[in-house]
C-alpha cells in the first residue's frame, strides 16, 4: 500500500505530493542549513502536513520533508503555465498569463 497525505482537500500519494510541491527531503543524519527565521511547511515522518512555522521551532528529527515559504506567503503554480505565484487570494495566475487573458491572447 502506498503512503498518502491529506492536503488541499484530497488524498495524495505521499511521494507525488512532495515532488509536486517542491519539498526538500530531510537528511536524517544532519539538520537542514536554513535560517531559523524562515517560515517553512513540513511533512512529518508519519505523513502529516504541519502548519507553517519558523524553522527554529521545527522538531527536525520528526520531519520527512520541508518547503520554505518566501516572504511568509505560500506559492502555488500558475493555473496556465505552471510558474510559481505568490498566493494572497484565490487567484492563481502569474502576471504574464493574467495580462494575456485580459487581451484575449
Cα distance between residue 59 and residue 57, in whole Å? 7
| Residues 6+ away with beta carbon under 8 Å from 37 | 54, 55, 56
Q: Are 67 and 82 in contact (CB under 8 A)?
A: no
pLDDT in tens, 43-101: 999 999 998 888 999 999 999 999 988 655 555 667 777 665 655 455 667 777 777 66
Higher model confidence: residue 102 or residue 59?
Answer: 59
pLDDT in tens, 79-88: 777 665 655 4
Cα distance between residue 60 and residue 42, in whole Å? 9
pTM given for the model: 0.63
Amino acid at each position: 500500500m502506498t503512503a498518502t497525505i491529506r492536503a488541499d482537500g484530497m488524498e495524495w500519494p505521499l511521494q507525488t505530493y512532495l515532488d509536486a510541491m517542491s519539498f526538500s527531503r530531510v537528511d536524517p543524519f544532519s539538520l537542514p542549513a536554513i535560517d531559523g527565521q524562515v517560515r517553512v511547511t513540513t511533512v512529518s515522518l508519519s505523513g502529516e502536513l504541519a502548519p507553517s512555522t519558523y524553522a527554529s521551532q521545527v522538531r527536525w528529527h520528526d520531519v520527512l520533508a520541508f518547503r520554505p515559504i518566501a516572504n511568509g506567503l505560500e506559492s502555488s503554480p500558475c493555473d496556465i503555465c505552471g510558474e510559481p505565484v505568490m498566493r494572497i487570494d484565490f487567484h492563481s495566475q502569474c502576471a504574464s498569463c493574467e495580462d494575456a487573458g485580459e487581451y484575449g491572447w
